[in-house]
Amino acid sequence: MAYQRTPYVESKRAEARQRLVQAAVALIERGGWREVQMSAVATEAGLSTGAVYLHFPSKTDLLAEVYRTQAGTELHVLTLIAEQPVPAADRLRAGINAFAQRAMKNPRLAYAIALEPTDIDVEEVRLHFHREFGMQFRRILDSGVAAGEFTIADTRVAAACIFGGIVESLMGPLGATALARGKAASARRQPDATALVDGVVAFCFHGLGKPAPRNPPTKRRAVGRSGRAKD
């Protein structure tokens, strides 16, 4: 009776927890997982070191939650896209686009999440999410195959090529931005997400393809930006 948690109190706990995760994210944005020290997280969140342990039993748990939060959001977006009742080709493009756009927004974070693991246990979470991302792309591909849109045989590998292609394409630009810390990071030219997306989409639809009529009926700007190098 006297002990019953009120929504208020409950939200206070949840809020502190949330604040800690956000603090960790902020630190990652600043300098990668390396910056995520328990005391730094506490300070960033406006709490004491000990308080962190009221919400997370260990650093690993905090890191895992951070990963889950960030990657989970991405995954959710991708899942929603994969479920849209539109042609698989459109969903595929939308998925690729969503992924690339978000990564461009916050390169440091995207890089850390996608490619810069720390803790061995967080690695497992990362593997899980990579598998999940692959699964969602594969869902799109499978439904496309079922609808006769695609005729690819191995959708698992194709999904990996798509997801891996995005990540790898972003890796250079992301990494360059990510590693530029104290330096005039803002001075760097943001890489062109549109060109990347179009390139991946083109590859998906035609492979190294003989035919390769540049995607003419696409709603987006149609010509000439895909071949540009940017580094």
Partner DNA sequence: CATGAATGAGAATTCATTCAT
Partner DNA sequence: TATGAATGAATTCTCATTCAT
Task: Find the part of the chain contacting DNA (CB under 7 A) among 53-61, 75-83, 96-104, 145-153.
Answer: 53-61
Tell me the number of residues near a second copy by CB under 8 A: 65
Task: Find the part of the chain contacting DNA (CB under 7 A) among 36-44, 69-77, 160-168, 174-182.
Answer: 36-44
- Classify the C-alpha dihedral 135-173-61-69 as positive or negative: negative
Contact between 1 and a second copy by CB under 8 A: the answer reads no
Contact between 144 and a second copy by CB under 8 A: the answer reads yes
- Residue 207's binding partner, choosing from a second copy, DNA, none, with beta-carbon cut-off 5 to 8 A by kind? a second copy
Contact between 155 and a second copy by CB under 8 A: the answer reads yes
Distance of CA 154 to CAs 135, 142, 188, Å?
13, 9, 39
Task: Find the part of the chain contacting a second copy (CB under 8 A) among 65-73, 75-83, 162-170, 182-190.
Answer: 162-170
CB 196 within 8 A of CB 204: no
Site string for a second copy, 59-78 (x = CB under 8 A): --------------------
Closest by Cα among 112, 133, 127, 123 to 26: 112
First CA to last CA distance, the chain: 65
What residue ranges bind a second copy (CB under 8 A)? 32, 34, 92, 115-117, 120, 123-124, 126-127, 130-131, 134, 141, 144, 149-158, 160-169, 171-172, 175-176, 178-179, 195-196, 198-200, 202-212, 214, 225-229, 231
- Using CB under 7 A as the criterion, which residues of the chain lie in contact with DNA when the complex forms? 2-3, 5, 9, 12-13, 16, 36-39, 42, 46-55, 57-60
